[in-house]
């Protein structure tokens, strides 16, 4: 017979006469194996067997119990390549002829909550801990997605929750003393519901999750960890959410609140630069200066970027750097970076006084965040505030007022240069967790999955074991 590779791949070989269950299931004796079809068109090996028990004695009257009936229990077991596997166990129920009491011994290798073996349950947990999605694990193991979700939720509850004295599940208390915290809110469900999480900045681990974005979240966290633990915390990084700031200062006056640089620059870009560019474009159009208005179109990135970044992009364009490669499949040509960004930027700030002030404030902000002295940073920020107020522009005035009302938290960056950059990275992980499942109906499960994403315990490529000679 000509056994070509294709024929070997397509051949359907029945291994049922050659397979037996490994002796990892205590008390189980494999008597026979058969190959069957299951729902979905997949094939599965069914391992028939018995569990041998010693004949028990009745606990009520002390008489010897006799076999009353045989019952069959089917459990899902570890998959074998593309095949599913089942354990079909012949269980025995014992009965006391004297008092009529019955007793059925437990299956030692059965999961306590699901009709699967403990080996399959551990395998599912390992796959989920590695980062595989519930759907992928469900298809691989032949389990319903709800079963996979319940196994995963139980795993996460063991890791991150504990029982309070009232019997309710709560998050575990931190296992180490954190010195720097970060707090931020995320969209929990379709944009109209928010949740707040608190992170240890040194480890990047989520310590707390709760619905809402008000003071109650901070109060609940402080009650959870205790005031004694909070005494070891030095500072908290956050955005300009006044509720978070007031709640931390109210309960822990020793804390230093540090407002994140990213949010300040983001407010300047979105509330000042973008709005001024639109206002100036409308003004030039109304005055009939269409050429100057056209120059402002598509200049948002140029106005927000640093001059050093623009110079770098121009240098890359001069070398002919490809921005997007050509593709025959998509029928598109390659796109090369265009130069002239810095020249366009210089022309914009020379022709417009407000845009020149934007450039000035950007440089002053950059210099302020380079200060390591509190006094020097106060001088720099106060100079920015006065410059914004002198323009008499409503967008600049708003930004100056914001800096003035948050001055202590902004200046704290000089002697405590922390930020919520790690928090923003964790937020991206949380968004990835939510997108993988197209949303979660069980919010407790979603919060636990988000918390688990910040721990990263699983090592995909573990180091080779050390061999000692």
Tens digit of pLDDT for each residue in 379-432?
A: 999 999 999 999 999 999 999 999 999 999 999 999 999 888 888 888 888 888
Ranking 33-42, 98-107, 212-221, 340-349 by mean pLDDT, the lowest is: 98-107
| Euclidean distance between CA atoms 403 and 385, whole angstroms | 7
| Final residue in a domain of this structure, among 84, 110, 136 | 110
Domain assignment of residue 9, yes or no: no
Q: At 336, is the secondary structure helix, strand, or coil? A: strand
Strand segments (E) across 52-117:
66-80, 83-95, 102-103
Domain assignment of residue 462, yes or no: no
Task: Kindly state the average pLDDT of the residues 222-233.
Answer: 94
Tens digit of pLDDT for each residue in 86-99?
A: 988 887 777 777 77
pLDDT(158) > 90: yes
Sheet of 194-200: strand order equals 205-211, 194-200, 180-187, 235-238, 256-259
Same domain, residue pair 215 and 195: yes
Strand segments (E) across 335-445:
335-336
CATH of the domain at 242: 3.30.420.10
Structure tokens at 404: 């003035």
For the chain, what is the mean pLDDT? 84
Ranking 9-13, 109-113, 152-156, 449-453 by mean pLDDT, the lowest is: 9-13
Same domain, residue pair 286 and 403: yes
- Of the chain, the percentage scoring pLDDT greater than 90 comes to 37
- Beta bridge partners, 235, equal 180, 256
Domain assignment of residue 461, yes or no: no
| Final residue in a domain of this structure, among 414, 439, 461 | 414
pLDDT(309) > 50: yes
Domain assignment of residue 404, yes or no: yes
Q: Are 255 and 235 in contact (CB under 8 A)?
A: yes
Tens digit of pLDDT for each residue in 359-376?
A: 999 999 999 999 989 999
Same domain, residue pair 373 and 280: yes
| Euclidean distance between CA atoms 247 and 254, whole angstroms | 12
Same domain, residue pair 272 and 410: yes
| Euclidean distance between CA atoms 61 and 76, whole angstroms | 37
User: With bands split at pLDDT 50, 70 and 90, how would you rate the model's confidence at 9?
Assistant: very low
Q: Which H or E run includes 199? A: strand 194-200
| Euclidean distance between CA atoms 147 and 278, whole angstroms | 54
| Euclidean distance between CA atoms 105 and 53, whole angstroms | 8
Same domain, residue pair 207 and 306: no
Same domain, residue pair 380 and 425: no
Say what the pLDDT of residue 419 is: 86
Q: Are 306 and 314 in contact (CB under 8 A)?
A: no
Domain assignment of residue 37, yes or no: yes
Say what the pLDDT of residue 16 is: 53
Strands 322-324 and 256-259: unpaired
Say what the pLDDT of residue 406 is: 92
Q: At 327, is the secondary structure helix, strand, or coil? A: strand
Same domain, residue pair 384 and 286: yes
Same domain, residue pair 407 and 427: no
| Final residue in a domain of this structure, among 110, 144, 171 | 110
Same domain, residue pair 32 and 75: yes
> What's the first-to-final CA gap in the chain, in angstroms?
51
**How many residues can be counted in the chain?**
469
Structure tokens at 387: 């410059």
pLDDT(299) > 50: yes
Residue 325: CB atoms within 10 Å: 9
Q: Are 182 and 236 in contact (CB under 8 A)?
A: yes
What angle separates helix 145-160 from helix 118-130, to the nearest 10 degrees? 80
Q: At 198, is the secondary structure helix, strand, or coil? A: strand
| Euclidean distance between CA atoms 186 and 430, whole angstroms | 9
pLDDT(15) > 60: no
Domain assignment of residue 159, yes or no: no
Range of the domain at 445: 179-260+420-453
Same domain, residue pair 89 and 211: no
Domain assignment of residue 358, yes or no: yes
User: With bands split at pLDDT 50, 70 and 90, how would you rate the model's confidence at 63?
Assistant: confident
User: H-type helices in 19-175, by residue range?
Assistant: 118-130, 134-141, 145-160
Q: Is the pTM of this model over 0.75?
A: yes
Domain assignment of residue 303, yes or no: yes
Strands 256-259 and 235-238: parallel
Q: 416 — alpha (psi -120 to 50), left (phi > 0) or beta?
A: beta
Same domain, residue pair 256 and 281: no
The domain tally of the chain equals 3
Q: At 238, is the secondary structure helix, strand, or coil? A: strand
Same domain, residue pair 209 and 82: no
């Amino acid at each position: 017979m000509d056994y070509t590779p294709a024929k070997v791949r397509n051949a359907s070989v029945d291994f049922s006469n050659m397979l037996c269950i490994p002796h990892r299931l205590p008390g189980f004796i494999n008597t026979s194996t058969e190959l069957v079809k299951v729902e979905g068109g997949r094939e599965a090996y069914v391992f028939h067997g018995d569990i041998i028990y010693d004949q028990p004695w009745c606990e009520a009257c002390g008489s010897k119990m006799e076999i009353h009936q045989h019952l069959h229990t089917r459990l899902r077991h570890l998959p074998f390549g593309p095949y599913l596997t089942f354990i079909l166990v012949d269980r025995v129920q014992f009965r006391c002829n004297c008092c009529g009491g019955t007793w059925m011994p437990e299956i030692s290798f059965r999961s306590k909550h699901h009709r699967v073996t403990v080996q399959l349950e551990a395998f599912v947990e390992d796959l989920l801990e590695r980062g595989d999605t519930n759907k992928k694990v469900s298809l691989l193991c032949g389990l319903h997605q709800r079963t996979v979700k319940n196994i995963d939720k139980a795993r996460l509850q063991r890791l991150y929750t504990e029982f309070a004295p009232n019997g309710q599940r709560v998050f575990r208390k931190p296992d180490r003393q954190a010195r720097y915290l970060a707090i931020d809110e995320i969209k929990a469900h379709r944009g109209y519901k928010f949740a707040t999480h608190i992170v240890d900045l040194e480890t990047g681990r989520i310590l707390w999750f709760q619905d809402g974005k008000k003071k109650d979240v901070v109060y609940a966290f402080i009650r959870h960890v205790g005031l004694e633990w909070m005494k070891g915390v030095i500072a908290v990084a956050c955005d300009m959410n006044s509720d978070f700031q007031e709640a931390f200062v109210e309960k822990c006056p020793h804390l230093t609140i540090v407002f994140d640089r990213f949010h300040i620059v983001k407010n300047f870009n979105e509330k000042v630069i973008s709005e001024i560019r639109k206002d100036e474009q409308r003004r030039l159009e109304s005055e009939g200066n269409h050429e100057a208005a056209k120059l402002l179109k598509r200049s948002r990135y140029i106005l927000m970027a640093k001059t050093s970044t623009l110079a770098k992009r121009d240098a890359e364009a001069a070398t002919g750097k490809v921005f997007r490669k050509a593709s025959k499949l998509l029928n598109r040509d390659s796109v090369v970076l265009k130069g002239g960004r810095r020249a366009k930027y210089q022309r914009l700030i020379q022709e417009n006084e407000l845009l020149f002030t934007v450039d000035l404030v950007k440089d002053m902000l950059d210099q302020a965040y380079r200060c390591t002295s509190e006094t020097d940073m106060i001088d720099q920020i106060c100079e920015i505030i006065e410059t914004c107020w002198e323009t008499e522009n409503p967008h600049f005035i708003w930004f100056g007022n914001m800096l003035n009302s948050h001055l202590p938290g902004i200046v704290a960056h000089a002697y405590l240069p922390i930020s919520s950059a790690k928090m923003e990275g964790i937020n991206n992980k949380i968004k990835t967790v939510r997108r993988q499942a197209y949303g979660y109906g069980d919010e407790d499960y979603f919060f636990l999955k988000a918390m688990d994403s910040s721990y990263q315990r699983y090592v995909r490529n573990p180091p080779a074991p050390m061999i000692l000679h």
